[in-house]
Structure 1
Amino acid sequence: MTRTLSPRTDIRRARDRSATRIDWLDSKHSFSFGRSHDPANTHHGLLLVNNDDVVSPGTGFDTHPHQDMEIVTWVLRGSLVHQDSTGHSGVIYPGLAQRMSAGSGILHSEKNDSWRLRGGVEHVDPVHFVQMWVVPDESGITPGYEQLEIDDQLLAGGLVPVASGMDQHRGESAIRIKNKYAALHAARLAPGQSVTLPEAPFLHLFVPRGAVTLEDSGALATGDAVRFAAIGGQRITATEDAEILLWEMHATLAS
């Protein structure tokens, strides 16, 4: 599933992303999505979608369908209510790993949970989250849902395997995805803290919050991303409080 690759580091700046902006949604797309179609920017490795979304209070995505996709949602601020046609529901918040396997077909909705009274106080905060899609190993699988809180592991400051289908992460990742060539890692870093990127044919680094430096490449700000091919081992060091999301992929889609 992989081909001979030349080492490559491709930095994509936040300002160059396409966007969808409507009254309740500010969504920035790392890859082609919806009406923002670019045939030269459809995926990297196995990752097809990396959407950086802010949803206003009391609003969200109404019930809509998905099929044959592994969807991982990572909340940075606020909370998001998930409901789907298989009977699963849950509130996703920072530090909670969540995966939905669309499989043979699923309907779901995602709404900002903040428009409500809690403790007698009205909370009307936006929710900020990143949603990422990878293809499954097989089409037509039974739809599924999984979530698990991993806040304690993130406090350690290293790369934490959030979602993985790879054998080497069995028993280590918080949740499983149905692709044996892909894994998502996350880290929360204080200024001066570092992590080292794994070696893999394809890596996708995204900085949803804060600022870091990438060894040999320089500064990365909020919303910046890096696509790596046939390379790894670089150090990422936070220059302010930061959060990073890293996909490790050992295969790619056909171009």
Structure 2
Amino acid sequence: MMLLRASHERGFAEFGGWLRSFHTFSFSDYYDPKFMGFRDLRVINQDWIAKDSGFPTHPHRDMEIITYVLKGAVEHRDSLGSVGQIKAGEIQVMHAGTGIRHSESNPSKTDELQLFQIWIQPDTVGVAPGYTQQSFRKEEKLNVLRLLVSKDGREDSQKIHQDVDLYASVLEAGKTLEFKLRPERGVWVQLAEGQIEVNGEVLNAGDGLAIQDEDLVKIKANKETEFLLFDLR
């Protein structure tokens, strides 16, 4: 079974000219009962944040929050004392746990910031909050599925409190990849840019695809493409 989530069908919000946000799943004031999440994947927001703007300090609790930067850099500050800039190709992982407050902003005076913000339901509530970040070079993702996030931290990936594997790939035109599904698991593919075919289904920038009850995910790039692949229990 495959279900396409077309980019133009996503929810959309704009705030005061500083933020444009597309919501793959129901989020904030956007509600679609058909798209409340996929397994433990609760949020994929694709955000464009204007220069010298950002989210003021706000709280989170009992959620695994992943930021994957596509263009520019995001400046992070939180109630744990963490301060850092996460640049394109890098990720940050925040365990909201018992509670954390943070701000995210675009420190550039000239360039727009683009990122995916991802929320995953944790398998344990009430854990100690935490924050990490890691850089993944383009060469590490080129024509392969590079593991970014996992429950056990294998292959130098970031740990989260859930049995979810998150991969990223930059796939050159004409190149192919295959991913074998484990029994009773599902895959979500989220395209950042370019165009790919996934088991014959064409995805363009911003599209997402849910895959269940399949043995194999076959991916072919029609042009250079950057995408994320979630392997979910």
Q: TM-score, normalised by structure 1?
A: 0.86
The one-letter code matched in structure 2 to 1:243 is E
2:175 to 193, 202, 212: 193
Instruction: Give the 5 Å matches for 1:51-200.
Output: 51-115=45-109, 124-151=110-137, 154-165=140-151, 167=152, 170-179=153-162, 181-200=163-182
**Would you tell me which structure has more strand in proportion to its own residues?**
2
Residue number in structure 2 paired with 1:246: 229
Unaligned 5+ segments in structure 2 are: none
Instruction: Give the Å deviation of 1:190.
Output: 1.2
Unaligned 5+ segments in structure 1 are: 1-7, 116-123, 251-255
Distance 1:155 1:227, change over 3 A: closer
The share of aligned pairs that are identical, in percent, is: 33
Cα separation, 1, equivalents of 2:209 and 2:141:
24
Cα separation, 1, equivalents of 2:44 and 2:173:
25
Instruction: Give the Å deviation of 1:171.
Output: 2.7
Distance 1:14 1:152, change over 3 A: closer
Instruction: Give the Å deviation of 1:146.
Output: 0.9
Q: Give per-residue Cα distances to partners, 1:148-169, cap 9 Å, x unaligned.
A: 111155344200110111x4xx
Instruction: Give the Å deviation of 1:111.
Output: 0.1
The one-letter code matched in structure 1 to 2:96 is A
After TM superposition, the structure 1 stretch with the greater mean CA deviation from structure 2, 54-63 or 86-95, is 86-95
Cα separation, 2, equivalents of 1:84 and 1:57:
21
Distance 1:213 1:92, change over 3 A: same
- Aligned CA RMSD, in angstroms, stands at 1.3
The one-letter code matched in structure 2 to 1:228 is I
Runs of 4+ in 1 over 4 A off after TM superposition: none
Distance 1:132 1:155, change over 3 A: closer
Given that 1:73 and 1:99 are in contact with CA atoms closer than 8 Å, whether structure 2 keeps it comes out as yes
Cα separation, 1, equivalents of 2:139 and 2:97:
29
Given that 1:75 and 1:129 are in contact with CA atoms closer than 8 Å, whether structure 2 keeps it comes out as yes
2:35 to 25, 38, 41: 41
Cα separation, 2, equivalents of 1:214 and 1:146:
32
Larger Rg: 1
